[in-house]
Amino acid sequence: MCGLKSKDSIEPVYQTAEITLYNGDCFDVMCNFADDYFDMIFADPPYNLSNDGVTCQAGRMVSVNKGQWDKSNGFEADLKFHESWIGECKRVLKPGGTIWISGTNHSIYQCGFLLQKLDFHILNDIAWFKPNAAPNLACTTFAHSHETLLWAKKNKKAKHIFNYTAMKNGTFQEDKIKIPDRQMRSIWSIPTPAAAEKTFGKHPTQKPVALLKRIILASTNESSLILDPFNGSGTTAVATKIIGKRKYTGIEINKSYIELTIKRLNLLENINENLFSKIQNSE
């Protein structure tokens, strides 16, 4: 089901026809997966920025610390960490498979360097612009208002999925600025997640569903297999389920974030069931 080399190597904690979740370290889980298995990987690894700085949230000064998992262990250790998981991602991607890596200046240059070192072919670097980003409280730099998304393919010569027309005509632009017949540009303006996306609690680096929907619609097709080795609150799982007809595998080390993911998925299930019974009742 999930490309496991042997059936009993590791058990998922949640499994449906579309979604499989593992609670564990992504190295331990990924090393059980078969080679050349996934069509697309979205990875939102630790940013290594939780080093006791401050930021602004709803007008208040708050710590930037996201959790122990986000602390830097020094340049060399962080580089080694990123090299291990990116290397494993390369092994489990199909030859024409692509990987998206998101990050800030704290992590993205190391990840970009490693994509080049590990012989990926970089397709795009997207600037995800956050129109509602928090101001820089210290007034010592420009306000940090974007994250970078690197998009790369495993094998330069293999054909990769890019749904050019769908992206070109703007059908999937979540910011509703529809620019027909223009190629979609590499700067994407998408707000940070709204309160409605945090109904069951917050993840400190939760991505907006709109961002993941765009990524999935751009770089996968029906029946594609998607992996997110740093599942967090499960935004990639939620977007996969909303779009449908694809299969998702997520890995998350923190059990409470797996629980949060399951609550978000169950909400979708309930919405679907309610819609289904409304449709049935109206017939």
Ligand X SMILES: C[S@@+](CC[C@H](N)C(=O)[O-])C[C@H]1O[C@@H](n2cnc3c(N)ncnc32)[C@H](O)[C@@H]1O
**Strand-pair partners of 98:** 40, 153
Binding mask of the shown chain, residues 80 to 119, with x at each position contacting ligand X by CB under 6 A: ----------------------------------------
CB-nearer residue toward ligand X: 148 or 233: 233
Applying CB under 6 A, among 38, 100, 151, 230 the residue interacting with ligand X is 230
Positive or negative: CA dihedral 110, 112, 115, 116: negative
- Single out the residue of 212, 199, 213, 202 nearest to residue 264, CA to CA: 199
CB-nearer residue toward ligand X: 177 or 195: 195
- Give residue for tokens 């494993």: 88
Using rule CB under 6 A, residue 4 touches ligand X: no
Residue range at the interface with ligand X (CB under 6 A); choices 54-62, 114-122, 133-141, 228-236: 228-236
- Single out the residue of 113, 52, 103 nearest to residue 80, CA to CA: 113
CB-nearer residue toward ligand X: 25 or 83: 25
Using rule CB under 6 A, residue 149 touches ligand X: no
Per-residue exposure over 19-45, b if at least 16 CB sit within 10 Å of its own CB, e if not: bbbbbbebeebbebbeeebbbbbbbbb
Using rule CB under 6 A, residue 233 touches ligand X: yes
Binding mask of the shown chain, residues 174 to 213, with x at each position contacting ligand X by CB under 6 A: -----------------------------x-xxx------
Burial of 260 (0-12, 13-18, 19+ CB in 10 A): buried
Q: How far is the CB of 278 from ligand X (least distance, A)?
A: 30
Q: What is the 3-state secondary structure (H, E, C) of 197-232?
A: HHCCCCCCCCCCHHHHHHHHHHHCCCCCEEEECCCC
Neighbours of 270 (CB within 10 A): 10
Using rule CB under 6 A, residue 129 touches ligand X: no
Using rule CB under 6 A, residue 25 touches ligand X: yes
Using rule CB under 6 A, residue 44 touches ligand X: yes
Nearest-angstrom CA–CA distance, 228 and 172: 21
Residue range at the interface with ligand X (CB under 6 A); choices 140-148, 155-163, 216-224, 249-257: 249-257
**Strand-pair partners of 14:** 21
Q: How far is the CB of 281 from ligand X (least distance, A)?
A: 35
Using rule CB under 6 A, residue 250 touches ligand X: no
CB-nearer residue toward ligand X: 25 or 175: 25
* Strand 54-57 relative to strand 60-63, pairing: antiparallel
Site residues for ligand X per CB under 6 A: 25-26, 44, 46, 69, 203, 205-207, 230, 232-233, 235, 251-254, 257
